[in-house]
Amino acid sequence: MKRYSEKYILTEEMKWENLGGGVSRKFLGYDNQIMMVQVKFEKGAEGAPHKHFHTQTTYVAAGKFEFIIDGVKQIVSAGDGVYMEPNLLHSAVCLEEGMLIDVFAPVREDFLDGSGVSYFGDKEA
Average pLDDT over residues 58-71: 97
Q: Which of the 8 DSSP states describes residue 15?
A: P
CATH of the domain at 103: 2.60.120.10
Distance from the Cα of residue 20 to its chain's centroid? 14
- What is the C-alpha separation between 99 and 24, in angstroms, rounded? 10
Q: Which domain holds residue 99?
A: 20-109
For the entire predicted model, the pTM comes to: 0.86
Domain membership of residue 4 (yes or no) is no
Spatial contact of 46 and 39, defined as CB atoms under 8 Å apart: no
Domain membership of residue 58 (yes or no) is yes
- Tell me what percent of the residues of the chain surpass a pLDDT of 90: 72
Domain membership of residue 8 (yes or no) is no
Domain membership of residue 96 (yes or no) is yes
Residue type for position 57 = T
Domain membership of residue 118 (yes or no) is no
Average pLDDT over residues 38-56: 95
Looking at the structure of the chain, the number of domains it has is 1
Domain membership of residue 102 (yes or no) is yes
Q: Strands, E, within 1-125: which ranges? A: 2-3, 9-10, 17-20, 23-30, 35-41, 46-50, 55-69, 72-77, 81-84, 90-105
Q: Would you say residue 120 has pLDDT above 90?
A: no
Q: Would you say residue 76 has pLDDT above 60?
A: yes
Domain membership of residue 10 (yes or no) is no
Average pLDDT over residues 26-33: 91
Q: Would you say residue 14 has pLDDT above 50?
A: yes
